[in-house]
Amino acid sequence: MLVTCPILSKYMRIKKGVHALKRRRNLLKAAKGYRHGRSTKERAAKVAITKALAYARAHRRDKKGDFRRLWNIKINAAVRPLGLSYSKFINALSRKGVKLDRKVLASLAENKPNLFKKVVEFVS
């Protein structure tokens, strides 16, 4: 049974080399492939990784808007030859109570134009 003495534990020397090396190794591993000193220097790597994680989070949010804009463009391009604009088409969809979202509509417009044409004829 090991009994610790509170007086001695106060003065014990605890080396942290193993943990420091592990932290450094993981940090530099995460910065692998970065250019110049950002992949080899601990301080620059830490800054680069922090920024990269922040940008990654922000851009995951941006991606949703990017796809929605793309779907709108595809839908607009598909309804123009049929004599409608995007906004009039979306308005007609909501008035008729059609519950297809923009992702599905863009997919139909791109891959199944005949089916998309029937949807447009139904709402207009």
Q: Which pLDDT band holds residue 8 (cuts at 50, 70, 90)?
A: low
Sign of CA dihedral 24, 29, 30, 31: positive
Residue 4 lies in a domain: no
Residue 2 lies in a domain: no
Residue 11 lies in a domain: no
Overall number of domains in the chain: 1
Dig out the tokens for 76 from the structure: 């607009």
Residue 17 predicted with pLDDT over 60: yes
Residue 1: the pLDDT is: 56
Tell me: the pLDDT tens digits for 41-93? Answer: 999 999 999 999 999 999 999 999 999 999 999 999 999 999 999 999 999 99
Residue 106 lies in a domain: yes
Coil, strand or helix at 112: coil
Residue 1 lies in a domain: no
Q: Which residues fall within 8 angstroms of residue 109, CB to CB, at 6 or more apart?
A: 74, 75, 77, 78, 79, 116
Residue 6 lies in a domain: no
Residue 8 lies in a domain: no
Minimum mean pLDDT among 14-23, 49-58, 115-124: which range?
Answer: 14-23
What's phi and psi for 17, nearest 5 deg?
-60, -40
Residue 5 lies in a domain: no
pTM of the model: 0.72
CATH number at residue 91: 1.10.1900.20
Average pLDDT of span 30-45 = 96
Residue 72 sits in which domain range? 16-123
Nearest Cα to Cα of residue 121 among 101, 92, 87, 85: 92
Residue 7: the pLDDT is: 63
> 120 with 79: CB under 8 angstroms?
yes
